[in-house]
Structure 1
Amino acid sequence: MKVFDDKHIKNVVFVGAHNSGKTTLAETMLFEAGLLNRRGTIEDKNTVSDFHDIEHERQASVFATPIHTEWRNYKINIIDTPGLDDFIGEIISSIRVGDTIATVINGRHGVEVGTEIIWNYIDKYNKPTLFIVNQIDHPDCSFDDAYKSIKNLVGNNTVQVQYPIQIDGAQCIIDVLKMKCYKFGTEGGKPEKLSIPKEEKIKADALHNELVEKAAENDEALMELYFEKGTLNENEMRQGIKAGMLNHDLFPVFCVSALHDMGSGRIMGFIDNVAPAAADLKPEQSVEGDTIVPKVEAPTSLFVFKTLYQPNLGQVNFFKVKSGEVTVNDKLTNARTGEQEVINQLFIMDGRIRQAVQKLTVGDIGATLKLKHTETNDSLYSGNSPITIKPIIYPEPRINRAITVGNKADEEKLSEALKRIHSQDPTVVLRYSKESKEQILSCQGELHLAIIDWMLKHDYKLQPIYSKPKIKYRETIQRSSTANYRHKKQSGGSGQFAQVHLKIEPLQAGMPEPEGFNIRGKEDVALPWGGKLVFYNCIVGGVIDARYIPSVMKGVLEVMEEGPLTGSFIRDVRVLLYDGKMHPVDSNDISFKIAGAHAFKEAFLNANPKLLEPINELTVKVPEEMIGGVMTDLQSRRSIIQGFDNLDHYQILKCTIPSAELFGYSTDLRSITQGKATFSSRFSSYQPVPNNIQKELIKAEV
């Protein structure tokens, strides 16, 4: 296969909401380039990019899939991404390595919530972006409304390059960059090039002039030329559009019918002639603070943006060459692990099809097999100076489930399978909770969970069981209390004896030291589960030997690890050991630990104990017209509204909500808003549980 240099490699990522037509457009572009003799369809389950069994079953993209085509001496790498935000990890990783983002808009619906979510990441990474309004030949398409929605999303820097019209029942596209009218037959394909109809000339000229002005604004030399001539020629306009895209200040808008192959060739021509190549992008800074020079002469650096496990192949790592070049048998170092990897094979991947190559150069995207120490987000480099590409920051999970399997023998197999799924998709997180003794699976939503479940059942032959995770309550006290306990045990020979007197108090920030006690020592313990224990040694007269004091504290901590109300951790208590007794023969460490534990438990139960529950800060982005239903639902979940912000036609609602009330919220919010709202949450603090709920929780533990 021909090796392309960085000036002739275009990396384009197709993003957009579900059912916008990304996969169909990618298939059509491969067909237009002559790489396919026949276009596949999603319904026939034979498209190049949607090749996984789960994608065939759901008839929707689940994974980001790299494919490529060649067009007029350029190599175009395309990454076809899913449209649902449950698979945001696949989308973000693709955006990260894209040079141009092609955002596909369903012309019947305009910008949808999925597009808005994706746009936030495009904007964050400052990526050159073009918009493509699809389904222009559908009776319900409204290009003007779709264009307005794009303008509402990204602002006044949008600019029309094309718009659709009908002429004598035939679908046409007016192109105001080339000032041509493209007329398509019923089968699409190569259009007839016509002059712009007289009735469209005024509109086309106005849009052309607007495009000229927008192009000129992005380059001082072009602006001077524009003032001098009053216009720009086509090449000068291309130069200005590219500059605007690179500055993230200009967003050209095109139109197509991907299904009927209308306008896709023109999109490919624009990608070739105008869209930024890898060589045009600004150099990145490595984690070490050095400039990663995107030149073939520079040391080699690769960024691994995706991992996939395929039957009969094993682990496939997809990467972008950020500098230098990589050849078969190269030895590169993993910047995270320090381990050396040998690149035994290099491939260009087109869905499930792989083409072996000997070399890939800077700017290109490829894949390799069976790296031993490398995962998604890793950097590989040559030479002695580490080159670490800044990693992708993935969003926090939104739902949690406790997960296990019915067959205990499969538990290790389940853990290994979930680790592999996490390797493919870092937004899938698995952790073991020592507190609740559960494996917790976290992901982006119910659909995301359904895909994980499908993979576990079909790919790993497991039968997972899901349940609501136990809420991590805490126990504390609301007033002071005293107790004493005598531990005495005689069973022949040396016995056990210890007696302790304790006083316990609620621990509050800034409270003064206790009065009326002779404080001999103080232990300030930051508890692993949050909060503190402050333990005072107030023993006088040697009634308890100093060597036994730590054992009393160990007994207290033992109870704090499993509180008497619900078995939850105890926090924020101070304990004063002020009296006791010992025996010269029978006293020992274990005796004082037992006595301390019993005394503390008794004092705790007499100190008006209180359950605390985790509270989350919740942010919900919801269309204005749907805010009422969202608020009603949140009020039923014991939330406290903190405030609102306005963002275009959305309300940003902020509230606090008990973690226990978030179970199932993702599904309910999607139902209430028809999938048009999004949310994020994070832990905030522990707050007292209402008395009626506390009684129910304690009763459930009995």
Structure 2
Amino acid sequence: MAAFTTDKIRNVVLVGHSGSGKTTFAETMLYEAQAVSRRGAVGDSNTQSDYTALEQQRGHSLFASVLHCNWKDNKINILDTPGLDDFAGEVVTALKVADTAVMLLNARSGVEVGTELIWEYIEDFDTPTIFVINQLDHEKSDFEMTLDQTIKRFGNRVLPLQFPVNQGPGFNAIVDALRMVMYVFPPEGGKPDKQPIPAEHKGRADEMHNALVEAAAENDEALMEKYFDAGTLDEEDLARGLSIGMTHRQFFPVFCASGLQDMGSGRIMGFIHDICPSPADRPPAELEGGATKPCDASARPCVFIFKTVNEPKVGNVSYFKVYSGVLKAGDELTNADNGTVERFSQLFESEGKNRDAVEAFRAGDIGCTVKLKGSHTNQTLNPKGADLKIRRIRFPSPRIRMAVVPPSKSEVEKMAHALHSIREEDPTLLVEQSIELKQTIIEGQGEMHLEIVKYKAEQNFGVHLETAEPRIPYRETITREANKDYRHKKQSGGAGQFAEVHMRIEPYYEGMPAPHGLNAKNTEVEDLKWGGKFSFVWAIVGGVIDSRFINAIKKGIMSKMEEGPSTGSYCRDIRVSIYDGKMHPVDSND
């Protein structure tokens, strides 16, 4: 099959609070597009998205998965994401390469905490968004409450295109105010029957339709003139105005659906096809350094890896978006971050765990490959001589940390390898071998996130990780002034070693006066990498110690500050003044 041209590609990410029905909706989209012959169910552990054993065991998504289907003459890439905040990194990853976000709302719960958190990420990426009020077949569904909360929280750019006629058990009818018809679905869902809007719903439908026409006209001067002249817009002009509004985030349409009953998803896919932006319609991609890169298939290839998955018996599967040019099977590109030359021997379209080989991807498309040698998430590849770097994904900061230890000392290296490999596919995981605490510390988004890290280490690398509380990184300082002198003398034939230093040690604070009773010739204040400050004062008079020994003395003091006398912790906020001492013309050296 020939690669889809950029204007025929739609990249869509499904987002929403946990339990809003994203995976079921993705399954229904694939079924509507005849990409699968039967719909899987989360409860039956057979959906295309949740294909890992852990997701099937827990009954919800833990990782972003990449799917695709054809709708009319378009290719729709679908990224299904987890709703739990512990896996926000998966949402950010998918939003990076999506051109439209489909925010699913649970009709029972309205706007939830996860909805608001995800919206912040959507705003960061400036992603055009569709709202879908889902699960309208549930007995506790409340469309009006959910719509009202959505408008109040996300503003008057939220415009409903539809409303349900009979929500709750028996739900089967939706009024579409854009097309001004009522869709009535058969009991098994699927393709609806188009019927006239009943008289009792006509007034609301007309009001919503007029609001949509006004919103479309506001996005283009020519359309605004037509609207003023004719009082309305024809179907073609209405579609054009709404498309402009979607692309520039001037309005956020609201749809009705029951993903579980396959009611409403086909209409939404038609809207994605007709109205939502292609990759070429979106602003040029930002590059590191501030420049931009248009999505242009005629340019040289530029490929960005947005996700890496380590699969047993396969190795790393690298998911990428082609930001420009055409990527063909067999092409060689150079990693702009580390110079590794990578051969894309095979290219695949992804359907969850299943992959279909293809010959090429054009600009804007999403695919995957296997067995790249040295390229991972957040890295860009170009033809030789180009060094473009797509702006890296900024992942959320960790919110929880724990120490991990292997069952035995013999498995320390094995543990380090496992954590390094997991980190390559999960950039929200931070791993630190703390010299200070003498522990391996892992940091992540939440307890469940770190549980998944432990699971991967055991299942994929055979390392059972035991957990412990991270030790507290204590700091030491001094509370009062003290004077100390030290003589070092060593003679063993030939040139010996000799040094004598007199120093004053005292607590340091910002703006403190010069050392009393001393002639301070030079003062240095250093920010310590472990926090706090160190002030070093050179107050030697009469040349009793040569200034060439300043760095050696300072280095010696700093080394002792790395292991304090009380707990062995780092020392901070100390001033040391060197005011006297002795040296030997032969035996003193640094």
**Shorter-normalised TM range:** over 0.9
Post-superposition offset of 1:133: 0.7
Aligned to 2:179: 178
1:240 is paired with a residue of what secondary structure?
A: helix
- Structure 1 unaligned segments of length 5 or more: list them: 591-702
CA distance in 2, matches of 1:282, 1:543: 68
The CA deviation at 1:170 is: 5.3
Q: Which residue of 1 aligns with 2:217?
A: 216
Letter in 1 for 2:459: H
Aligned position for 1:405: 406
**DSSP-derived class of the 1:166 partner:** coil
Distance 1:506 1:277 in 2: 63
1:432 counterpart = 2:433: yes
Deviation at 1:528, TM superposition (A): 3.4
Aligned twin of 2:442: 441
**CA drift at 1:273:** 1.1
C-alpha contact (below 8 Å) 2:301/2:322 kept by paired residues: yes
CA distance in structure 2 between the partners assigned to 1:558 and 1:284 by the alignment: 47
> In structure 1, what is the equivalent of residue 59 of structure 2?
59
Query: Which region of structure 1 is more displaced relative to structure 2, 339-348 or 524-533?
Result: 524-533
| Alignment-derived partner of residue 153 in structure 2 | 153
Matches of 1:3 and 1:309 in 2, distance apart?
A: 27
What one-letter code is carried by the residue in structure 2 that aligns with 1:147?
L
In the TM superposition, 1:66-465 aligns within 5 A as 66-166=66-166, 171-287=172-288, 289-382=290-383, 384-465=385-466
The question of 1:572 aligning with 2:573 is answered yes
Q: Deviations over 1:179-213 (max 9, x none)?
A: 11111122111112111011111111111111111
Deviates more, 1:509-518 or 1:95-104: 509-518
Give the aligned residue type for 1:528.
K
8 A contact 1:551–1:589 mirrored in 2: no
Q: Hey, what does 1:46 align to over in structure 2?
A: 46
Match of 2:561 in 1: 560
The structural deviation recorded for 1:524 is: 4.9
Aligned residue pairs, count: 589
Structure 1 letter corresponding to 2:190: G
Q: Is the 8 A contact 1:101 1:127 kept in 2?
A: yes
Q: Which moved more, 1:256-265 or 1:453-462?
A: 453-462
Q: CA 1:222–1:420 in 2, change beyond 3 Å: closer, same or farther?
A: same
Matched to 1:314, the amino acid is G
- The offset of 1:552, in angstroms, is 4.7
Partner Cα separation in structure 1 for residue 113 and residue 295 of structure 2: 35
Three-state SS of the structure 1 residue aligned to 2:12 is strand
Query: In 2, distance between residues paired with 1:382 and 1:577?
Result: 59
Q: Which AA in structure 2 matches 1:43?
A: G
- Are 1:521 and 1:538, in contact at CA under 8 Å, matched by a contact in 2? yes
Q: Which amino acid aligns with 2:80?
A: D
Contact 1:70/1:76 (8 A) holds in 2: yes
Cα distance in 1 between the residues matched to 2:205 and 2:524: 80
Contact 2:539 2:577 in 1 (8 A): yes
Which SS does the other structure have where 1:312 is aligned?
coil
Q: CA deviation at 1:452?
A: 1.1
SS in 1 for 2:165: strand
Q: Quick one: which amino acid aligns to residue 83 of structure 1?
A: G
Distance verdict in 2 for CA 1:4–1:497, change over 3 Å: closer
SS at match of 2:95: helix
Give the partner amino acid of 1:47: T
For the residues of structure 1 that align with 2:338 and 2:494, how far apart are their CA atoms? 58
Deviation at 1:474, TM superposition (A): 2.1
Please say which of residues 211-220 and 576-585 is displaced more in the overlay: 576-585
CA distance in 2: counterparts of 1:492 and 1:334, whole angstroms:
58
Checking the alignment, whether the CA contact within 8 Å between 1:170 and 1:186 is kept in structure 2 is no
CA apart distance, 1:499:
5.4
Aligned residue number for residue 471 of structure 1: 472
Alignment of 1:602-681 (within 5 A): none
Residue 567 of structure 1 and its aligned partner are, at CA, apart by 1.8
Q: Give the counterpart letter for 2:222 in structure 1.
A: A
Judged with a 3 Å threshold, the aligned counterparts in structure 2 of structure 1 residues 501 and 146 are, in CA distance, closer, same or farther, namely: same
Cα gap change, 1:494 to 1:57, in 2 (>3 Å): same
Which residue does 2:518 correspond to in 1?
A: 517
Deviation at 1:6, TM superposition (A): 1.0
1:629 equivalent in structure 2: none
Deviation of residue 550 (structure 1)?
5.6
2:537 is matched with 536
In the TM superposition, what is the alpha-carbon distance from 1:478 to its structure 2 partner?
3.5
Mapped contact 1:100–1:127 kept (Cα < 8 A): yes
SS of equivalent to 2:453: helix
Task: Confirm or deny: 8 A CA contact 2:137 2:171 kept in the other structure.
Answer: no
Percent of pairs with identical residues: 47
- CA distance in 2 between counterparts of 1:252 and 1:272 reads 14
Write out per-residue CA displacement over residues 347-393 of structure 1, whole angstroms, 9 at most, x where no aligned residue. Answer: 00101110000111111110111111211111111253322111111
- Distance between the aligned counterparts of 2:203 and 2:539, measured in 1? 93
Deviations 1:470-506 (A, max 9, x none): 2323222333222345668899999987654322222
Q: What is the root-mean-square deviation in Å for CA atoms of aligned residues?
A: 2.5
Alignment correspondent of 1:613: none
358 and 556 in structure 1: CA distance in 2 versus 1, 3 angstrom threshold: same
With over 3 angstroms needed to count, the CA separation of the structure-2 counterparts of 1:45 and 1:489, relative to structure 1, is same
